[in-house]
Amino acid sequence: MNLKYTAARGTKDVLPEAAAKWRYIKNIARQVFNTFGYEEIITPMFEPTELFTRGIGETSDIVTKEMYNFTDKKGRNLTLRPEGTAGVVRAYLENRLYTLPMPLKLFYTGSMFRYERPQAGRFREHVQVGVEVFGSKSPYLDAEVIATVVTIFTKLGLSGLTTQLNSIGCKECRPAYTAFLRDYFTKNSAGLCDNCKLRAEKNPLRIMDCKEENCKKTAGGGNLPGMASYLCVNCKTHFEELQKGLKLLGVTYKVNEALVRGFDYYTGTVFEVHSEKLGAQTAIMGGGRYNDLVEEFGGDKTPAVGFGFGMERLVAVIDALGIKLPLENTLDYFIVHLGPEAFEKALELAALLRKTGKSVKLLYEEKNIKAQMKTADQLKAKKVIIIGENELKDGVLLLKDMADGSQKRVSYENLIQG
RNA sequence: GCGGGUGUAGCUCAGCUGGUUAGAGUGUCAGAUUGUGGAUCUGAAUGCCGCGGGUUCAAAUCCCGUCACUCGCCCCA
């Protein structure tokens, strides 16, 4: 076959088998969100470009090289959303959701778009399930938000995950630390890799996480003071209480002082969940606090915290761990029909059974019984109904249980009722 | 944006240093079993050898380009 069209680079079809997994995961997530009191919000897939450039940060990689921008017929600059938070914050303000009881807990699911080079666990369109909570600055809320996603992962049977945690400080304390790092690394730039030379100016926090040996050495092999020692009192107590909260909620975690996230809006708490089953992309969930973003978008100062996890990566971990999700096979009946008269009966019977909520399939072409039985087997039908000359003559049906192979004659009435 | 690998049947892949009608397993379809699936046996169908160009008497094989996939870097879910 000579394919005329293929899916756009970095996009993927989710076929029925995988879609069933997605459905199952989303159902679990919905259940968990419900128990934590979240409500769903659906926001547009594209927004004015400025929303993202301002929200995520002009200099971030996502904004500078990964956005799907376009102009519409009126010349408006629009962008396919690369992440979920900015749109939800915009919707929160535009619809005056701040008049609702606080804290307001929202969840969403939807596609995100980033123009990246595709690779294991990374696509140009990926689906995120995420939450945003507005109106509380309590560290115990941070803890609960983390517990929410950990609960989902636990319910799905995931193992070997590590929840990483850090505080990157707020407007009060972070500038002093980045200034210190910037100063230090520009003075000691000789040993840095090309990337880190750029980072020294742009985002010196990242240098602490570089894998290059020389950069590690230049960074003092872990002897440089970390962000922790620069945190202001508020950030410090917040971070301590968050950890206390996680212990109360039974969430195991690991503090990772090198954990930095790619969006500019984060303040204080940041966190990620990693799996070693994913190749180079190990994060399946990321999030944090963003106490200044609502205000930057023109609202009142409103603390907020959120996370997002990626469906594709989550499914990859589930598969890599060999987890078999309890997906139900839904085909109740397959009707085998022999001859034109039986076919008509089969159509009528299918309609009756479907009225009672049963799932029913049958073939529309004349095929011998063997071929039809084979199809029933391939479709994993629970039961097969056979209608042939004998059954027509006696006004009954032959009902076969595909699991044990047993079969018996039943009346139409009994079948519909049972 | 930068590197490495790979494109052969629906799927997984073999085709060595160029040489005749391009193979295997699996799946599909048919038959053995004319009213019975999952096992076994027999048989059949299926390929612009990713695409374009070049070298050559001759290219799936060598060279260049291109596209796609894939694994890394950066970054991120």
| Nucleotide nearest A83 (Cα, C1') | B77
Q: Is A224 exposed, middle or buried (0-12, 13-18, 19+ CB in 10 A)?
A: middle
- Tell me what pLDDT residue A15 has: 87
Domain positions in chain A are: 16-173+231-320, 333-417
Asked if A112 and A126 touch (Cβ cutoff 8 Å), the reply is yes
A99 touches strand B (CB under 7 A): no
pTM of the model: 0.91
A272 touches strand B (CB under 7 A): yes
Q: What does residue A186 show for φ and ψ, rounded to 5 degrees?
A: -70, -30
- Taking 50 as the pLDDT cut, the residues of chain A under it are none
A284 touches strand B (CB under 7 A): yes
A81 touches strand B (CB under 7 A): no
Q: Give the whole-angstrom CA distance, residue A142 versus residue A152.
A: 16
CATH topology (fold) of A16-173+231-320: BirA Bifunctional Protein; domain 2 (3.30.930)
**CA nearest A257: which of A225, A284, A285, A280?**
A225
Pairing of strands A383-387, A46-48: unpaired
Q: Give the whole-angstrom CA distance, residue A283 versus residue A162.
A: 10
Eight-state DSSP code of residue A329: P
Condensed to tens digits (0 to 9), the pLDDT of residues A231-252 reads 999 999 999 999 999 999 999 9
- Tell me what pLDDT residue A99 has: 97
From the CA of A20 to the C1' of B9: give the distance in Å.
29
Residue A160 region, left (φ>0) first, then alpha (ψ -120 to 50), else beta?
left
A3 touches strand B (CB under 7 A): no
Asked if A171 and A234 touch (Cβ cutoff 8 Å), the reply is no
Q: What does residue A397 show for φ and ψ, rounded to 5 degrees?
A: -125, 150
CB atoms within 10 A of CB A273: 24
A87 touches strand B (CB under 7 A): no
**Start-to-end Cα distance in chain A:** 46
Q: Say what the ipTM of the complex is.
A: 0.84
A391 touches strand B (CB under 7 A): yes
Please give the share of chain A, as a percent, with pLDDT higher than 70: 98
**Taking the C1' atom of B51, which residue's CA lies nearest?**
A2
Helical H runs in A188-281? 194-202, 213-218, 233-248
Helix (H, G, I), strand (E, B) or coil at A289: strand
Q: Which nucleotides of B are covered by protein (CB under 7 A)?
A: 1-3, 10, 28-31, 33-38, 48, 67-77
Q: Give the whole-angstrom CA distance, residue A192 versus residue A371.
A: 68
- Tell me what pLDDT residue A222 has: 64
Q: Give the whole-angstrom CA distance, residue A238 versus residue A301.
A: 18
Superfamily of domain covering A333-417? Anticodon-binding domain (3.40.50.800)
